[in-house]
Copies of this chain bind each other. A is one copy, B any other.
């Protein structure tokens, strides 16, 4: 915020205002685009653009030509909210006021543009699963680059060891039916991909203010529907893949249809679960006061990996018990 800004009085004529502004321009640090109309207690009454001043006749009075509906922000207004106002309304400058509508200063579009770029960069870096670099990629030292990436990689590795534990838990099933293990990466990756899509869409929509916390239920319902359809489509493809391989190469033996059903059902369940987890986690994080962008693609994928394994082997136990298992 810049605390210096061009101001005029409501009772001035256009000619007086222009002369008054000319004096201010000599002292000001920022180019003049708009002049703010204030009363004696600095309450913001309206705004006139230089264009309006130029257009009006020299003896027109400011309070007759000023725009009274002024979009203003507070000092504590979120920067992304300010950016949204600039982009929506096409402003160059927005006034900053206090609770009593007294003018404190102005923010300009070029300041906010830099903020917008920077915040998008930070979100993208977080969504990619690394820390925020703070400097351009090529300028960050390799030591710092390692540090920014190591933390999340280690957290994800530690979380990922749960996949090993889950598979160890299902060792008997794998021992008996090795081919069950073939489809583990495929199934959990599909859940992770669906989750990554859902979380990035929701996180960006939150950052842009298109989705607010109270919208979680609407998002939930959309993602149930979306997850069911996407899961259904992937299930059919997974089923066809196994049936095709069996017909072409005889890969999976007499119970291949049961195996295909197991993989298909697991795909459907995991994609639905990924969509729901990916879309709801940003709300949960926001609720806990944590930046929703923490729900990065790798984070969601790791989360869905473990549950995906449990889902898959549970479905396998249900469908294959008595035949293969």
Contact = CB atoms under 8 A, between A and B. Distances in A.
A296 B138 CA distance: 21
A159 to B, nearest CB: 9
A46 interface: no
A145 interface: yes
A130 B89 CA distance: 29
A123 B200 CA distance: 10
Contact of A50 (B50, B87, B156, B186): B50
Majority SS at the chain A contact face: helix
A83 interface: yes
A171 B161 contact: no
Give the bracket for the number of chain A residues in contact with chain B: 35 or more
Contact of A160 (B54, B137, B189): B189
A136 B215 CA distance: 13
B210 A186 contact: no
Given A31-B49, A128-B127, A201-B130, A121 B189 contact: no
Contact of A297 (B28, B210, B298): B298
A38 interface: no
A186 B205 CA distance: 31
A163 B190 contact: no
A92 B120 CA distance: 21
A39 interface: no
Given A25-B55, A110-B109, A150-B233, A171 B163 contact: no
Q: Which 9 A-B pairs have the closest CB atoms?
A: A128-B200, A120-B120, A25-B54, A297-B297, A137-B205, A136-B210, A163-B185, A90-B110, A181-B181
